[in-house]
Amino acid sequence: MLRLNIDAKTVDRCHEIADNITSRVMEELSSLSTVAIERTVARFAGVDGVTGDGVPLPNVLVDHLVQKGKIHDGVAIHLANACLALGKTPVQVAQMVAGGETDISSLEWQGTQEVTKKAREMVQDCLDKIKARRAEREALLEELPVTQTPWLYVICATGNIHEDAVQGRLAASQGADVIAVIRSTGQSLLDFVPHGLTTEGFGGTYATQANFRLMREALDEESRKLGRYVRLVNYCSGLCMPEIAYMGAVERLDMMLNDAMYGILFRDINMERTFVDQNFSRMINAYAGIIINTGEDNYLTTVEAFDAGPQVLASQFMNYHFAKKAGLKDEQIGLGHAFEIDPGIQDSLSYELAMALLVRQLFPACPIKYMPPTVHKTGDIFSSHVLDSSFNLVSVLTGQTIHLVGMLTEAIHTPLIQDRYLSIKSAAYMRRAAKHLGHNLQVKPGGLLETRAASILEDTLELLEEVNQEGLFAAISEGVFAGVKRQRTGGKGREGVFKKSRWYFNPVEAALRAELLGVS
């Protein structure tokens, strides 16, 4: 395999610093929870459905506790106490709250031991279900193995889940290994998850539990037909990260986009909210056996890609260490990057190759996610196809794992049926044609690739040291990443962050910590 000679000490130091930066963030925020986390706990307890006005019951329950000033205890103990006091199930309690029939913050206390026990019990079914779904995926992957890498990943985005199911199956039959249903524009800023099957969306399809289920069933059927398991992806970002992680876990999604900083930088979501939600959502991803995809490609589309290498790597180191702390295994951490250097630059292909190799080599056990060129594309679909071919070659040559297939019509519209066909055909061609090419080539010692990789790595260390010195919050507020400045107290969703009281208890987190990190 192509290998760069890189300085192991520098790499170790990068890991050490990233570990330190992320530990400090987690320590600082360990006393906080969010409304999204509490809604997720309610969902684990079986609270589902919407009121007559379409408000999801988990929101009703959590908003009720916020109003009563009791959210600081977490939803679990009040819900468990209400179940015991009223002799009802969690969803029945939520319905009563929605109907104004009860105030669960002022019911008679049933005793700490009983309530804690009940709280643990009420989320157990769901934990078991997720474990079963994980086993189901593992069995399917054995029965319907995916033998080729990189996995070809394509996007469906019609707005109508029924149409997405048709297009997703079609793409799979054309050779796609991974199908992502991108979300409707703006969903990341909704502080609730829409309910039921949806047929209208803007630039994508709403992420709902019913939509996840329909899509997974369609792909299961297609997987059996093809004898190859087709993975399903959705987006664990925005104001509902943990709730969507829950939905993905229960409906056996296989990958979820989950970046530690994306929401902060690109959606102006509050820092504390994002970091706290991120951690809990990743614990759920970890437990469900889901592969996360991080979003470093976004830096490359926002700032000049030629100069963004150190930012990308620094972010990958931090995303990696946040992920490890949430219990994700290396093989679940799909660190992202992209082929976005200006093709007008001489040797741009060599620079792309250097970066792709470097990322691959720094995180050897991680399924690296490689994103196609988008910024330097125009309406010239023919040249766009050529650029994608270069991207395909670099991806195969350097052994990337998750390969988002570039579309020739990228700059114009969401993919037409033939665009996907042509793009998959071209990527599959390169996967076949260059299969062992990388194994038979060597990097010239001290040449262009090594020099470039070494300089990016050195700059990465310097950047990480800078972030470490001032702390991640301050670094973000100074615009270190993507040139975007966000304040710790600013951004959307801040009102949904709260300090945990000394009675706070989250039975899902307790179970996941025990299972994933061996901490009780």
Partner 1 sequence: MATGIGRGNCRLAAGGKVSTASHRAQHAAEHRDNHLDEHRDEHRHEHRHEHRAGHQDEYRDQDRDLHKDLHRDLHKDLVLPYGDQLNDGVVQVSFTLPVAAGALAEEAARQAMRLMGLEDPQVAEAAAVGENATFFVGYGKLTRPVELSKLRVAKPMWEELDQGTINRLVHETLGRPMVVVGAATGQDAHTLGLDAILNYKGFAGNRGLEAYSAFKVINMGSQVPNEVLVAKAREAKADAILVSQVVTERNVHLANLTNLVELLEAEGLRDKVVLVVGGPRITHALAIELGYDAGFGPGTRPQDVASYLAQEIARRHVELGPLHE
- Does 493 bind partner 1 (CB under 8 A)? Our answer is no
Q: Measured from the CB atom, is 9 or 413 closer to partner 1?
A: 413
Question: What tokens appear for 108 in the block?
Answer: 């008679």
Length of the chain: 520
Long-range contacts of 469-477 (CB under 8 A, 24+ apart): 471/21, 471/24, 471/25, 472/21, 472/22, 472/24, 472/25, 472/318, 473/25, 473/28, 473/271, 476/261, 476/264, 476/265, 476/271
Which run of H or of E encompasses 67?
A: helix 57-67
Work out how close the CB of 381 gets to partner 1 at its nearest, in angstroms, rounded to a whole number: 9
Question: What tokens appear for 110 in the block?
Answer: 């049933």
Residue 327 three-state SS: coil
Instruction: Give the interface segment with partner 1, choosing from 101-109, 131-139, 201-209, 316-324 (CB under 8 A).
Output: 201-209
Residue 338 three-state SS: strand
- As annotated, the active-site residues are 262, 297, 369
Instruction: Give the interface segment with partner 1, choosing from 117-125, 208-216, 409-417, 503-511 (CB under 8 A).
Output: 409-417
Q: Is the dihedral of CA 433, 436, 440, 442 positive or negative?
A: positive
**Residues 416-435, mask of contacts with partner 1 (x by CB under 8 A):** xxx--xx-------------
Between CA 376 and CA 358 the distance in angstroms is 23
- Does 412 bind partner 1 (CB under 8 A)? Our answer is yes
Work out how close the CB of 198 gets to partner 1 at its nearest, in angstroms, rounded to a whole number: 13
| Residue 422: partners with Cβ closer than 8 Å, 6 or more residues away | 385, 408
Q: Which of 31, 67, 106, 378 binds partner 1 (CB under 8 A)?
A: 378
Cite the beta strand spans of 352-492 per DSSP E. 369-371, 402-404
Instruction: Give the interface segment with partner 1, choosing from 110-118, 195-203, 347-355, 464-472 (CB under 8 A).
Output: 195-203
Q: Which of 31, 112, 185, 487 binds partner 1 (CB under 8 A)?
A: 185
Work out how close the CB of 185 gets to partner 1 at its nearest, in angstroms, rounded to a whole number: 5
**Site residue total, partner 1 (CB under 8 A):** 29
- Does 196 bind partner 1 (CB under 8 A)? Our answer is no
Instruction: Give the interface segment with partner 1, choosing from 63-71, 184-192, 213-221, 389-397 (CB under 8 A).
Output: 184-192
Stretch 271-330 residues interacting with partner 1 (CB under 8 A): 301-304
- Does 379 bind partner 1 (CB under 8 A)? Our answer is yes
Question: What tokens appear for 209 in the block?
Answer: 């539990």
Between CA 255 and CA 368 the distance in angstroms is 12
Distances (CA, A) of 156 to 152, 198, 512: 13, 14, 32
Between CA 261 and CA 473 the distance in angstroms is 11
Instruction: Give the interface segment with partner 1, choosing from 50-58, 120-128, 274-282, 375-383 (CB under 8 A).
Output: 375-383
Stretch 160-179 residues interacting with partner 1 (CB under 8 A): 170, 173-174
Q: Measured from the CB atom, is 378 or 455 closer to partner 1?
A: 378
Work out how close the CB of 166 gets to partner 1 at its nearest, in angstroms, rounded to a whole number: 9
Work out how close the CB of 421 gets to partner 1 at its nearest, in angstroms, rounded to a whole number: 4
- Torsion angle in degrees (nearest 10) through CA of 177, 183, 185, 189: -130
Stretch 243-272 residues interacting with partner 1 (CB under 8 A): 267-268
Name the residues that contact partner 1, by CB under 8 A.
Answer: 159, 170, 173-174, 185-186, 188-189, 200-203, 267-268, 301-304, 375, 378-379, 411-413, 416-418, 421-422
